[in-house]
Amino acid sequence: MELAKQYDPSEAEKRHYEYWESNGLFSPEVNGDRNAPKYSIVIPPPNVTGSLHMGHALQHTIMDVLTRRKRMLGFRTLFLPGIDHAGISTQKMVTDQLWKEEKKTPQDIGREEFTKRVWEWKAKYGGTILQQMRREGVSVDWSRERFTMEESLSKAVTSVFVALYEEGSIYRGARIVNWCPKDKTVLSDLEVEDKAKKDGKLYYLRYPVKGTERHLTVATTRPETMLGDTAVAVNPEDIRFSDLVGATVELPLTGREIPVIADDYVDMEFGTGAVKITPAHDPNDYEIGLRHDLPQLNVMNDDATMNADAGADFEGLDRFKARELVVEKFEELGLLEKIDDYEMVLPVCERCKTIVETLISEQWWVKMAGMRDLALDLKRKEDLPKFTPHNPHTKVYTDWLENLRDWTISRQLWWGHQIPAWYDGEGNVFVARSFEEAAEMAGTEDLTQDEDVLDTWFSSWLWSFSTLGWTKPGDLTEDMEEYHPTDVLVTARDIIFLWVSRMVMSALKFVGERPFDDVYITGTVLASDGQRMSKTKGNGIDPLDVFDKYGVDATRMALAGSSTGMDFAWRDERVESFRNFANKIWNATRFCLMNSEGATVDPESILSPDSIADRWIVSRLNRTALKVNEALERYAFHEAVQLLYHFFWDDFCDWYIELSKDEITSGDAGSRTRILTVLEQSLRLLHAFMPYLTEELWQKLPGTGDALHHPAYAGKPASISLAGFPVGDRGFVDDRAEDEMGLVIDLISKVRNIRSEMRISPSVRIPLHVAADGSTAEALGSNSAQIVKLARVTDLVLASELDVPKASAKAVLSDGTEIAVPLEGLIDFEKERERLSSQIGKLEEEGEKLGAQLANRNFVERAPEEKVSAVRERVGEIEIQLKALKENLQALD
């Protein structure tokens, strides 16, 4: 069989995913072993509006590596995919489209029609990211794909709402909230982000004190809110104002009179020390208002224009226009003291970046204290999910829990789970699982359902179990029993609070167990400039472009290989190196296949390796497998990638193929079989990371098929994804073979060094003399043909003593074995002197360091025995080598 000279990923990527998916290889049911242990992961659901970005690619790669390995180990493996309905962004998207295409607003077509349009939109565009995930090669079970708005998950949402309401954990109340005037909905604290505003202003406004000639000056960043002021506050300790506490201020522009109050909250250092209090439009003022029983005067509409209570001059004005007008009028009245420049931080809507308004609004809330305590109990029992990397996530997570506040769950949207609360004509509320149930409770069908929907997170916090068929407390579906709790959650730092902690609380509350054992928090993929990727900066990198350019497998290797849990800057060069690696694997396989006649993959063939090279590669293979498995068990993806890269490229390609090349090309069936088998094992190890390339090549190797499957997948469609994952066997780790092979490699490298330094053309063959006895002579002698070939020497002269002319280049192997290349006529004495001197210099430097250590009695007495003897051993080696090198140098004179 002849392969192309270069690997073309695009072709393999098309074919194999289709094969895997249509044969259901990623469904846990493919596992025929009823007693197999399970392994389950639920995907963090991307937004239905979303498309694949680097963060997804990273997380999905990690999850897929974990899943594929476990599947190959024979676990009943479930990797469950799905998306969430992303209330705000989806509604926005469809609203925009409606306006663009029909010049209509959602209100124009009504709720029912609008919701229909969203479903149509979802059917048409909502699957984008799911298709992109197929391209990534993720081995998810598509037969279990979930969507937060589908019937079963909606039932779960409703039943959880009702259960919490019935126990008194959900209530409705007017409180100060974050309000997005553009999306016209309330936002939870977590959906608001801070944005620095460097060119902000601090306005100093004078309020006349009633019955005096005095003014009280307040400093504010938001003059327009003064229209809703209901007090001025000062610190009770502040002697500047102590006589004014209890006085009345005439609030300009409004004709209202408001009191001067004293409250600890006021910072004497800030501004003037006097603070205007607007309980209806500032969270801190709201609290102060409650403490002092102040009226809450709402002066704004839901679109952040001023309302009638702001006064006739201001009604209808946008908040920023109103600000200008307020300042103007203060100026006219001579009440504007000054305006300072002021750097500040503004709260903005996480989605549309509009400046968030704080106002008082009637919303639904969840009391979190009870569930929070359940989660903190886990901490006490030291049974929290295990975070990787451990720090600082565990602490951040528990700190946050301890300061948890109630959660606003209603949203003023039409797209989402409509709140299951109905009102009768008198305003009584009935919370029920359905209209029928509510009607029965109310004794009338004359009910209207609450207009609002629930926060999207109110459905995704149930994701770990709602996706497994759970619809109500007590539900124990087959999938729940089998796959919950899941094994690991892989996600990004930014949703530890929004999602991870809430999932823990909901699972504890409703299922009575943790939703997952481990949490792996990935680092952030930064742009190549080290900055965060962002649309506005235009420095983002589209994973699909990278797939096209370098192939999916190379991209996955680059991502997994960078996944230490730290953030890392994206570098195309790194992916390129893995594309080259993929090509290396391709060509190594190409070589084996070109010489595969009469041979077939046969695991038995490497069970009793005979030659040093065979014992060595089998040892390296098993050692690598052991380490890769160990690394993956502790989520050290980058270590696993490094191990595989170096095993395959250095050990297998650079040495094993080269050492066995003659035997292979001359048709030795045994050698051919062994190399095919080692290759096949390597492909299996690589499969979790590079699924397409390995499947492509595995299918081409002679002797592969379902017979190589893990026993749990006997008789299933042949795929490397069902083959056993090599776990490695300590019995095959052969230190002696590795030492002996190390000598051969050292010898060849030293000769190559001589050639290179002496500038001997590769076409010129040179003689090689080696002084060795015993096992060294045996190891080198049994590989003499390979040494001759790889060091390009005429022949290898092995004797117990060197017998070479003065004009020879010499070197010493790590065990002290002396080697010499007689180079009559070729050798440049000056160069050889330099070469030897530089090597002597290096060894002397190392020897001095180590010698100093040994001279230190404290080291010898206090350091562990094995450390000391290791240093002694190394010093011994150095001494032997130095002696020989120095003699060689002298011999040149």
Q: Which of residues 270-329 bind RNA (CB under 7 A)?
A: none
Per the DSSP assignment, residues forming a β-bridge with 506 are none
Q: How far, in Å, CA of 724 to CA of 74, rounded? A: 7
152 or 564, CB closer to RNA? Answer: 564
Q: How far, in Å, CA of 197 to CA of 175, rounded? A: 27
485 or 728, CB closer to RNA? Answer: 728
310 or 743, CB closer to RNA? Answer: 743
Query: In 3-state terms, what secondary structure has residue 333?
Result: coil
Compute the least distance from the CB of residue 530 to RNA, in Å: 5
Coarse DSSP helix, strand, coil percentages of the chain, rounded to the nearest 5 percent: 50, 20, 35
Compute the least distance from the CB of residue 31 to RNA, in Å: 33
Of the candidate spans 115-123, 243-251, 418-426, 558-566, the one that interacts with RNA by CB under 7 A turns out to be 558-566
Compute the least distance from the CB of residue 869 to RNA, in Å: 11
Residue list 618-647, contact with RNA (CB under 7 A): 638-639, 642, 645
Binding marks (x or -) toward RNA, 869..888, rule CB under 7 A?
-x---x--------------
Binding residue for RNA (CB under 7 A) from 150, 166, 189, 257? 189
Residue list 119-158, contact with RNA (CB under 7 A): none
DSSP 229-295: --EEEE-TT-TTTTTTTT-EEEETTTTEEEEEEE-TTS-TTSTTSEEEE-TTT-HHHHHHHHHHT--
Neighbours of 377 (CB within 10 A): 12
Residue list 760-799, contact with RNA (CB under 7 A): 761-762
Task: Mention every residue, 6+ apart, whose C-beta is less than 8 A from residue 473.
Answer: 159, 160, 163, 510
Compute the least distance from the CB of residue 459 to RNA, in Å: 21
Q: How far, in Å, CA of 230 to CA of 294, rounded? A: 6
Binding residue for RNA (CB under 7 A) from 15, 111, 291, 532? 532
Residue list 826-845, contact with RNA (CB under 7 A): 838
Binding residue for RNA (CB under 7 A) from 867, 876, 883, 887? 867
Q: Which helix (H) or strand (E) holds 448?
A: strand 448-449
Task: Mention every residue, 6+ apart, whose C-beta is less than 8 A from residue 638.
Answer: 560, 561, 562, 563, 564
Compute the least distance from the CB of residue 395 to RNA, in Å: 6
511 or 679, CB closer to RNA? Answer: 679
Contacts of the segment 549-552: beta carbons below 8 A, 24+ positions apart: 549/575, 550/9, 550/575, 550/576, 550/578, 550/579, 551/7, 551/9, 551/10, 551/13, 551/579, 551/582, 551/692, 551/693, 552/9, 552/13, 552/135, 552/136, 552/137, 552/692
Residue list 327-346, contact with RNA (CB under 7 A): 345
427 or 864, CB closer to RNA? Answer: 864
Binding residue for RNA (CB under 7 A) from 54, 657, 697, 747? 657
Q: Which helix (H) or strand (E) holds 175?
A: strand 170-180
Q: Which helix (H) or strand (E) holds 769?
A: strand 766-771
602 or 846, CB closer to RNA? Answer: 846
Query: Residue for token digits 């160990």?
Result: 630
Residue list 426-455, contact with RNA (CB under 7 A): none
Residue 236: alpha-carbon gap to chain centroid: 50
201 or 661, CB closer to RNA? Answer: 661
Binding residues with RNA: total (CB under 7 A): 74
Binding marks (x or -) toward RNA, 718..757, rule CB under 7 A?
-------------------------------x--xx-xxx
Residue list 587-616, contact with RNA (CB under 7 A): 587-588, 590-591, 594
Q: Does 665 bind RNA (CB under 7 A)?
A: yes
Residue list 372-401, contact with RNA (CB under 7 A): 391-392, 395-396, 400
74 or 847, CB closer to RNA? Answer: 847
Compute the least distance from the CB of residue 332 to RNA, in Å: 36
Cβ pair 229, 258 in contact under 8 A: yes
212 or 665, CB closer to RNA? Answer: 665
Q: Does 536 bind RNA (CB under 7 A)?
A: no
Cβ pair 813, 743 in contact under 8 A: yes
Closest C-alpha among 833, 818, 827 to residue 890: 833
Binding residue for RNA (CB under 7 A) from 16, 411, 574, 615? 574
Binding residue for RNA (CB under 7 A) from 278, 583, 605, 719? 583
Compute the least distance from the CB of residue 746 to RNA, in Å: 10
Q: Does 194 bind RNA (CB under 7 A)?
A: yes
Residue list 1-60, contact with RNA (CB under 7 A): 5-8
Binding residue for RNA (CB under 7 A) from 14, 571, 736, 806? 571
Residues in the chain: 893
Compute the least distance from the CB of residue 665 to RNA, in Å: 7
Of the candidate spans 58-66, 491-499, 674-682, 733-741, the one that interacts with RNA by CB under 7 A turns out to be 491-499
CA distances for 738 relative to 63, 475, 606, 735, 811, angstroms: 34, 57, 16, 5, 21
56 or 709, CB closer to RNA? Answer: 56
Compute the least distance from the CB of residue 748 to RNA, in Å: 7
DSSP 136-169: HT----GGG-EETTSHHHHHHHHHHHHHHHHTT-
Q: Where are the beta strands (DSSP E) in 21-63?
A: 38-42
Of the candidate spans 213-221, 305-313, 499-507, 559-567, the one that interacts with RNA by CB under 7 A turns out to be 559-567
Of the candidate spans 87-95, 199-207, 443-451, 586-594, the one that interacts with RNA by CB under 7 A turns out to be 586-594
Cβ pair 276, 218 in contact under 8 A: yes
What does the H/E/C string look like for 700-735?
A: HCCCCCHHHECHHHCCCCCCHHHECCCCCCHHHCCH
The pairing of beta strand 486-492 with beta strand 516-522: parallel
Residue list 705-724, contact with RNA (CB under 7 A): none
Single-letter code of the amino acid located at 728: G
